[in-house]
Amino acid sequence: MSRSAPTSRNAPISTRQILWTFALPVAVLNLGAVLPWLWRLEIPQRVPLHWSFDGPDRFGSLTELTATITIVGVIVVVGIGWITMVLGADVSTRRMGVITNTVLAFLLASIPVSTAHAARGVSDPSTLSFPSIPIGLATVFGAALGVALAFTLPREPHNPAVVLPATAAPRVALSDAETGVWVSRQFAGTSIWIAMGSILVACALSLLMQAWGLLVMPALLVVVCMTFLAWDIRVDSQGVTVRSVSRLITLHIPHEEIETADVASVSPLRDFGGWGWRTGRDGSVGLIVRSGTALDLRRTGGRRYVITTHDASTPAGLINTIIDRERQNPR
Amino acid sequence: MLFRVDTTSSEPIFEQLAHQIRIAILQGNLAAGDRLPPAREVAGALDVNLHTVLHAYQMLRDEGQIELRRGRGALVSNQAQAVPREVTEAVAALVTQAHQAHLAPHIVVSLVKEALA
């Protein structure tokens, strides 16, 4: 049987999604610009804009401090929001957008706020030290709030597929009496080295600047690597389950909602702009740990998942074989 | 790695699983140092008893194909060796020829046993 056209996107954009993805982060960023202005009479004419290991090394007006960060922040937040909410057909992508934007907004807004707050009543701004602890705390708070808000987004409605997988897609030889499962742990080559490098640089910067609050960054990076760069993938009679090794994230795609499974070839930078949990140009969810073959799942509602793995034709074949069996002989 | 279980087969499930892992090692799909999935995960996915999977793993350990290490799970042993590609290809060619000649599997096995004796 040939595949029919994919069903229409099944995840309409809700008011809550717009609020958490755009409105709240933009409001927080604006607060980061407004609060320092409320204190403008108490702070010196020149405030630190840039820091070296010995303290502030470049100074400017309050406008320079607040405007640059706020404008860049709003552009980035709107860009991420557009990619994850407008292109992203899957609720997991939209949740990632909410988390990323909330963390970014709190991180960026905390820089002018904490700098201006530290400068209140100070006559010589060169004596100020980098406000790493409030920035670290704001980032952690943003991450926690982002996760909490992300999970208020509703799950997608059940949307069963009716078509059979593409005839040209892989199959495995599995008799009717046989049960098949495929399990594999995937972790990265190149991306692990990049992540380790980033963690070491973040540690070194914190130590050299004696900015202890910034140690939260390498700690967060370790959790992020365990969560986004190492995955346990399982295909069984229920569907496809992908769990991060840290067990913080689980993605389950039931067989009933899969239209077809195939093999794709992935170049992380070209196709997904990097490694980890990514969003592709077509809004697909990418669980990308290396270049090469990937399991390419088409789900109802125009959703697509690309999961890098060795020997992708075996899990793709098993999924298609199980779907063929279930849809041709419904229980 | 793909595991398959036929509950209607007369071959015990632990032997079916051990056979599949053994073949994966012999064909070079699993190399020395590769980690096998945790027995609990395989048992859960296949909906079979945990001890059935552990039995298969222990059987392979006794054969020297895998090593079971506390806290590190099941690893393909350094002694486990893939069959040279030429041998795999020769076996595939033999099977093709046997099919063309309509020979039953037990006849082919008898011929190979005789040749090896």
Q: How far apart are the CA of B16 and the nearest CA of chain A, in angstroms?
A: 11
State residue A1's pLDDT score: 35
Q: Are A107 and A138 in contact (CB under 8 A)?
A: yes
Burial of A185 (0-12, 13-18, 19+ CB in 10 A): middle
The complex's ipTM? 0.78
Contact B64, B79 (CB under 8 A): yes
CB contact under 8 A, B42 and A183: yes
Question: Distance between CA A200 and CA A316 in Å, rounded?
Answer: 38
pTM score: 0.78
- Which distant-in-sequence residues (6+ apart) come within 8 Å of A11 by Cβ? A89, A90, A91, A94, A156, A301
Contact B24, B30 (CB under 8 A): yes
State mean pLDDT over A267-293. 89
Neighbour tally for A149: CB within 10 Å:
19
The yes/no answer on whether domain A163-185+230-331 falls in CATH 2.30.29.30 is: yes
Question: Using the 8-state DSSP alphabet, how is residue B49 labeled?
Answer: -
- Predicted confidence at residue A331, as pLDDT, reads 64
pLDDT tens per residue across span A191-200: 677 778 888 8
- CA–CA separation, A34 vs A22, rounded Å? 18
Whether the per-residue pLDDT at A46 is higher than 50: the answer is: yes
How many Å apart are CA A296 and CA A305, to the nearest integer?
6
- The stretch A104-129 carries a mean pLDDT of 91
Which residues of A have a CB under 8 Å from any CB of B? 172, 174-175, 177-185, 232, 234, 236-237, 311, 314, 318
DSSP-derived 3-state class of residue A298: strand
CA A300 – CA A256 distance, rounded (Å): 9
Select the residue of B7, B8, B46 nearest A181 (Cβ to Cβ): B46
Domain borders along chain A are 15-150, 163-185+230-331, 189-228
**How confident is the model over B36-86, as pLDDT tens digits?**
988 988 998 898 999 999 999 999 999 999 999 887 789 999 887 778 888
- Chain B residues within an 8 Å CB radius of A232: 41
pLDDT of A286 strictly over 60: yes
CB-based contacts of B59, cutoff 8 Å, min separation 6 = B14, B15, B18
Spatial contact of A66 and A108, defined as CB atoms under 8 Å apart: no
**pLDDT(A263) > 60:** yes
Strands B2-6 and B73-76: unpaired
* Res. A216 pLDDT band, cuts 50 70 90: confident
Q: Identify whether the C-beta of residue A181 lies closer than 8 Å to the C-beta of residue A319.
A: no
